[in-house]
Amino acid sequence: MIRPTPVLLLAVLALGACRAPAHPVAARPSASLSPSPSISVLPPTTAPVKPVISKAGLAYFNTVALGVATGDKYSVVTKWTLPVVTVRVQGGDARARTCVNTVIADFNALTATSDLRLSANPADIEVHLAPVSKFKSLLPQYESGNDGWVNVQWSRLHYITGATVLVRSTGNNATDRCHLLREQLTEGMGLLGATKKYRSSIFYGEYYPTVTKYSAIDKEVIRLLYSEAVQPGDDKARVRASVTVK
């Protein structure tokens, strides 16, 4: 478990750590969430249209967008409010970079408020493809035994201000790396809960069939999080009041 940092917002969380098996199959990645100084955010000027979501989709949203696996638990929405969230990739081969491009395109096709965009400069989300032996030096919050990790910083108002992603680049195959990249980048957008319910989901919390695309229920969750109806700090009741359940 990651211990809370004694600063403005005392909340640090780690997602479902799994130890890597003996054979080279990626372990369930973990995540930590750390605070950053508060920056004011203006509320929306008009009431957003209520998104339509399935009953199962809303329940899953409550698990992966409001829930966390370990650490201090804040059962509210945490998301980016920037219209463009930049991503810089360091390390990795051409196949890994092609995967990142695909993940970004898939994510942007689902969001109405914040798009991901690659950058060659220091970015909002820093992605490191590296050997596991380098993870601790890249991110002190990393816990050994995990093939992927994301550390996310957010403000008092629960909007995200930065993230660092680690993905194992050796001892696994390109398909596993692509799974890790998709999951970690998506978690870095605020979907930090662990689940054992849908094996086809990118958020599946056990050893998994390698998932390299968003499932239908994943898409529902991403659309809702990055709709105008859901705001940072919204709890389960406020989210429910903001949607139409079909």
Owner of token pair 């429910």: 240
Q: In this structure, are residues 135 and 167 in contact, taking their beta carbons and an 8 Å threshold?
A: no
Three state DSSP letters for 85-115: EEEEEECCCHHHHHHHHHHHHHHHCCCCCCE
For residues 37 and 107, the model is more confident at 107
Higher-scoring residue by pLDDT: 136, 34: 136
Per-residue pLDDT tens digits for 126-161: 999 999 999 999 999 999 989 999 999 999 999 999
Percentage of the chain modeled with pLDDT above 70: 76
Distance in angstroms (rounded) separating the CA atoms of residues 153 and 148: 17
With 0-12 / 13-18 / 19 or more C-beta atoms within 10 angstroms meaning exposed / middle / buried, residue 175 is: middle
What pLDDT, on a 0 to 100 scale, did the predictor assign at position 213?
95
Give the pLDDT confidence of 95-135 residue by residue, as tens digits. 999 999 999 999 999 999 999 999 999 999 999 999 999 99
DSSP code at position 47 = P
Number of H helices, E strands in the chain: 6, 10
The pLDDT > 90 percentage for the chain reads: 67
Identify the band that residue 76 occupies on the pLDDT scale cut at 50, 70 and 90: very high
Q: Identify the pLDDT of residue 1.
A: 31
Q: Is 178 helix (H, G, I), strand (E, B) or coil?
A: helix
Residue 185 has pLDDT above 60, yes or no: yes
In tens, the pLDDT along 190-220 reads 999 878 889 899 998 776 668 889 999 999 9
If you ran DSSP here, which 8-state letter would residue 159 be given? B
Q: Stretch 226-245: mean pLDDT, rounded?
A: 95
Does the pLDDT at position 35 exceed 60?
A: no
